Chain A
Amino acid sequence: MTSPLEFIDVALPNARGTVCDLTVPPHQVVAVSGPEDSGVGGLGRVALGLEPPRRGRVLVLGEDIAALPRAAALAFRRRVGYLPAGDGLLQNLSLYDNVALPLRFGTGLAEREIEGRIRIILTMMHLSDVGPARPAQVNDEQRRRAALARAVAFDPGLVILEQPFDGLTDRVAAELLEVARGGVSAGGSRRTVFITGQNLPHLLRQRVDTRYRVVGQKLVREA
């Protein structure tokens, strides 16, 4: 089976010239962490072709997005759930409309179907009460929940999360990771999750299948 995400000899954007060479197996949770200046934070962007790698290439679902023409790259990204660092929510839309945006833009679903799906997701994320609120009107945790809800709204097979747990309690982080993994996806199995960040909360270490850490020039697999 093709690996959903593969970094082949990718140079991280840091002064040490760390090389990232790893494969994310299907239906597993893989986390890469490292200090702020390690360049780990940009791996998600590199994977999605938002930033060209200094060296090497990244295969997402077997495709090098960075090498695709723009329109094809955009269409391909709609198959991947993405939670950017911060949250990336559009400030002029309500949380409800933020979560609905990828469905409205990228699927041919009727508005009623989208509405039904969003209501389920918002309930699952404990956001039903604040659905009509703008991102600036809710707290950090609710914004992060909404951003994750948006990333998984169309039930992608692969989810890329950039610093998703910063500032959250371990309990909330564990809950969000479970949502990201999904009970079952459209294919009848768990999603593949790729996480980048500076530190992984303690409670989550047991729940992540493979952990890597940037140490100097090397990407070290943690026990």
Chain B
Amino acid sequence: MTRRVSRLGALARFFWDALVSFGTLPRAGRRVARRVLLNQVWFTAVQAVPLVIVLSGLLSFLVISQAVRELGRLNATELLGTLMVVATVRELGPLLTALAVAGRSGTAIAAELATNKVMGEVDALEGMGIDPLHYLVLPRLGAAVVSVFCLIVLFDAIAIVAGLIAAAANGMSPDRYFDIVLRSLAFGDASVSIAKAIVFGAIIGTLPSFHGLRVRRAATDVPIAASRSVVGSIVAIFLCSALFVAVL
């Protein structure tokens, strides 16, 4: 128990150090860090687009198909909008997107940084006067936040379109569908999604980096770091999701 609390403290400290390190990033280093960030966004966001489209499209199609049929039987199709917004846009969209990114990119970040550590690359960076937080952690943290945000927006957009197809396939007119869904969408839903994107992105950027850089000099530690990071990220994402529901 004490070890877990101490690890949580170390993780919080690591996150804080990463944030604060932005202030000490040398001017020349910003260019390099930006390049690493863009590479990460390419890998984390752009290459994950097909996965998010499939997840979002299938989920929305299944949920809306069932909902149109069941709610139609109860003569309560008005509730379709609420279902779409609450279930997909507010809850499942951010959650599934974050889980997909944690599984896909979080493990990659942890494995990459753990390999950097095992191969002596982190020490070499320090020896050259380059802070690993500047070069390795900060760009990944920033990229994770940006990527999760963009993918959540994409997830929601695809979900609404797939919902339209499902509604049309079950006899509902597109005008009616858009009318119901758009009436249920409020600014608050968008802001919750943005808040979740920032929190989930921060989790996916921090936890894998933390576990990756904590390994000692043994190659056998690399898969352990990857596994710990993905499990930790999933638990943290679910916990934060529950906290959002409780607070907002």
Contact = CB atoms under 8 A, between A and B. Distances in A.
Interface of A: 44-45, 48, 50, 70-71, 74-79, 82, 84-92, 101-102, 104-109, 150
5 contacts: A84-B127, A87-B124, A91-B116, A102-B130, A104-B32
A104 B29 CA distance: 7
Contacts of B116: 90-91
Contact of B128 (A44, A87, A102, A109): A102
Contacts of A48: 126-127
Interface of B is mostly: helix
A74 B129 contact: yes
A106 B29 CA distance: 7
Interface stretch (B20-28, B146-154, B235-243): B20-28
Contacts of A84: 120, 123-124, 127
Given A77-B128, A78-B128, A92 B112 contact: yes
A145 to B, nearest CB: 15
Query: Which of B116, B121, B130 lies at the interface centre, i.e. has the most chain A CB atoms within 10 A of its CB?
Result: B121
Query: Which of B24, B27, B115, B124 lies at the interface centre, i.e. has the most chain A CB atoms within 10 A of its CB?
Result: B124
A105 B130 contact: yes
A213 B119 CA distance: 28
A74 B130 contact: yes
B129 A86 contact: no
Contacts, number: 84
B123 A50 contact: yes
A203 to B, nearest CB: 27
Given A75-B129, A77-B128, A101 B120 contact: no
Contacts of A150: 128
B126 A104 contact: no
B155 interface: no
Contacts of A91: 115-116, 119, 121
Contacts of A105: 26, 28-29, 32, 128-130, 134-135
Given A101-B128, A104-B29, 16 more contacts: A45-B127, A50-B123, A71-B131, A74-B129, A74-B131, A87-B124, A88-B120, A89-B124, A90-B121, A91-B115, A91-B116, A104-B32, A106-B26, A106-B28, A106-B128, A150-B128
B3 interface: no
B31 interface: yes
Contacts of B135: 105
Query: Which of A79, A106, A107 lies at the interface centre, i.e. has the most chain B CB atoms within 10 A of its CB?
Result: A106
B219 to A, nearest CB: 13
A163 to B, nearest CB: 12
Contacts of B131: 70-71, 74
Interface residues of B, number: 24
A147 B112 CA distance: 20
Interface string B99-115: 00000000000001001
Contacts of A108: 27-28
Contacts of B31: 104
A88 B127 contact: yes
Interface in B1-49: 24, 26-29, 31-32
A82 B28 contact: no
A85 B120 contact: yes
A131 to B, nearest CB: 18
A150 B124 CA distance: 11
A152 B99 CA distance: 44
Given A85-B120, A86-B119, A89-B121, A107 B130 contact: no
Given A92-B112, A106-B26, A76 B129 contact: yes
B66 to A, nearest CB: 45
Contacts of B124: 82, 84, 87-90
A89 B28 CA distance: 20
Instruction: Give the top 6 A-B pairs by smallest Cβ distance, nearest first.
Output: A88-B124, A78-B129, A77-B129, A82-B127, A105-B29, A74-B129
B125 to A, nearest CB: 8
Query: Which of B26, B120, B129, B131 lies at the interface centre, i.e. has the most chain A CB atoms within 10 A of its CB?
Result: B129
A110 to B, nearest CB: 10
A85 B27 CA distance: 29
